[in-house]
């Protein structure tokens, strides 16, 4: 079996034929196309644990009261079955053709263990956080913020010793101190909605990647400076943030981004969705995440003559997913 059609690459769309048996890719194709083919999406920031809270989120709570320490979300997490909630989120991840997730895992070691029983054909990078002053669970640290977590630098050091990644939320609802962030030297920072141009330049110069979650930000009335990040040539990824606030479907996220950031080219938006955080993953030069030959693909129905317009059109549907991780 083969998929034939325009395949999205780092150099735009190229007509190709993909052999679904062995994933061999050849240039060009004969006969009719099957649709438009894009690499599996990367969702670079999720909190899958609160997916099933989506129908019960109280309206009009501030960011602090909803997701801050001791806030509504954390009470919900204590009272509900987190595994069921993560499974619900993973169903969306899989059905939307997402091949890589970076999930901030609440709940210490138990929170990480939830994934032991979950089968996912893609790659899940789990960033843990300790419960009640324990040590860092797992090898990656997902730090809620410098303000909320007093021992952030200890967690970052512990993650680095284990060869793990460090991610942290910063300047989501108000501008936070940039020098403290640079000193922490995380691998990536999430949000930066209230970062100044100068802050972004410092982050870029420090080799720190950035993840933006525009639908989640919109919920709290924030807008990330995505145009500026792209202008600066930052290493960017898209995330969907809390599962209770919006779906984890990257097509829905990028269609929203297209509406909200009309000056950004569709090629840039699609590239971030498919190849997000490439620099971070390739720091050691050995990553397989950005090797197109080792990625999987999504086949989308063509509904417009222009490939980009078609992908971003809500009428375009996922016809198939070829996993390869």
The Cα 70–Cα 77 span in angstroms is 11
**50 binds Zn ion per the rule CB under 5 A:** no
* Residue closest to Zn ion (Cβ): 241
Least distance in Å: CB of 108 to Zn ion?
17
Q: 106 vs 278, which CB is nearer to Zn ion?
A: 106
State in angstroms the smallest separation of the CB of 68 from Zn ion. 12
CA dist 206 → 174, 225, 250 (Å): 21, 18, 28
Give residues 237-276 in contact with Zn ion (rule: CB under 5 A).
241
For the bound state, the minimum distance from the C-beta of residue 288 to Zn ion, rounded and expressed in Å, comes to 26
Helices (H), the chain: 63-67, 72-79, 82-95, 108-113, 152-161, 178-184, 197-205, 214-219, 226-231, 250-260, 266-275, 278-281, 307-312
The secondary structure of 44-58, three-state, reads EEEEHHHHHHCCCCC
Cα gap 290→135, rounded to integer Å:
32
Which pair of structure tokens corresponds to residue 112?
């990480």
Q: Within 183-242, which residues bind Zn ion (CB under 5 A)? A: 241
- Name which of 148 and 306 has its Cβ closer to Zn ion: 148
Contacts with Zn ion by CB under 5 A: the residue count is 1
By beta-carbon proximity to Zn ion, the closer residue of 7 and 193 is 193
Task: Compare residues 241 and 253 and give the one whose CB is closer to Zn ion.
Answer: 241
Pairing assessment for the beta strands 297-300 and 36-39 based on DSSP bridges = antiparallel
* Cβ 189 to Zn ion shortest distance, Å: 11
Which CB atom, from 18 or from 127, has the smaller least distance to Zn ion?
127
Mention every residue, 6+ apart, whose C-beta is less than 8 A from residue 222: 172, 173, 191, 193, 194
What value does the CA radius of gyration of the chain take, rounded to a whole number of Å?
19
CB of 203 to Zn ion, least distance (A): 17
Nearer to Zn ion, 235 or 241 (CB): 241
Q: What are phi and psi of 149, to 5 degrees?
A: -120, 105
Instruction: Give the nearest distance from C-beta 190 to Zn ion in angstroms.
Output: 5
Closest contact distance (angstroms) between CB of 55 and Zn ion is 20
> What is the nearest approach in angstroms of Zn ion to the Cβ of residue 239?
7
| Complex with Zn ion: residue 34 or 241, whichever CB lies closer | 241
| Total count of residues recorded for the chain | 325
Q: Which is nearer to Zn ion, 92 or 307 (CB)?
A: 92
- Collapsed DSSP state (helix, strand, coil) of residue 16: strand
d(CA 267, CA 13) in angstroms, rounded, equals 9
Site of interaction with Zn ion (CB under 5 A)? 241
């Amino acid at each position: 079996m083969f998929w034939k059609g325009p395949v999205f690459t780092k150099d735009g769309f190229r007509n190709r034929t993909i052999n679904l048996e062995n994933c061999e890719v050849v240039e060009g194709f004969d006969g009719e196309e099957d649709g438009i083919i894009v690499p599996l999406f990367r969702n670079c920031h999720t909190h899958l644990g609160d997916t099933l809270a989506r129908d019960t989120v109280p309206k009009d709570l501030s960011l602090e009261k909803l997701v801050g320490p001791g806030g509504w979300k954390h009470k919900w997490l204590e009272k509900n079955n987190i595994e069921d909630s993560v499974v619900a989120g993973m169903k969306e991840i899989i059905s939307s053709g997402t091949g890589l997730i970076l999930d901030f895992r609440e709940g210490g070691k138990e929170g990480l263990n939830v994934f032991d029983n979950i089968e996912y054909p893609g790659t899940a990078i789990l960033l843990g956080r300790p419960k009640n002053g324990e040590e860092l669970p797992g090898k990656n640290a997902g730090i809620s913020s410098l303000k909320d977590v007093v021992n952030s630098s200890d967690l970052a050091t512990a993650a680095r010793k284990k060869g793990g990644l460090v991610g942290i939320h910063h300047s989501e609802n108000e501008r936070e101190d940039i020098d403290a962030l640079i000193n922490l030297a995380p691998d990536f920072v999430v949000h930066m909605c209230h970062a100044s141009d100068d802050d972004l330049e410092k982050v870029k110069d420090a080799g720190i990647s950035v993840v933006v979650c525009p639908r989640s930000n919109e919920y709290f009335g924030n807008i990330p400076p995505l145009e500026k990040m792209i202008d600066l040539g930052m290493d960017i990824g898209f995330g969907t943030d809390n599962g209770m606030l919006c779906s984890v479907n990257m097509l829905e996220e990028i269609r929203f981004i297209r509406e909200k950031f009309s000056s950004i080219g569709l090629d840039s938006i699609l590239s971030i969705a498919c190849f997000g955080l490439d620099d971070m993953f390739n720091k050691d030069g050995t990553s397989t995440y950005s090797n197109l030959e080792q990625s999987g693909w999504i086949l989308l129905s063509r509904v417009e003559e222009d490939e980009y317009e078609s992908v971003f059109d809500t009428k375009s549907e996922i016809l198939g997913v070829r996993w390869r991780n």
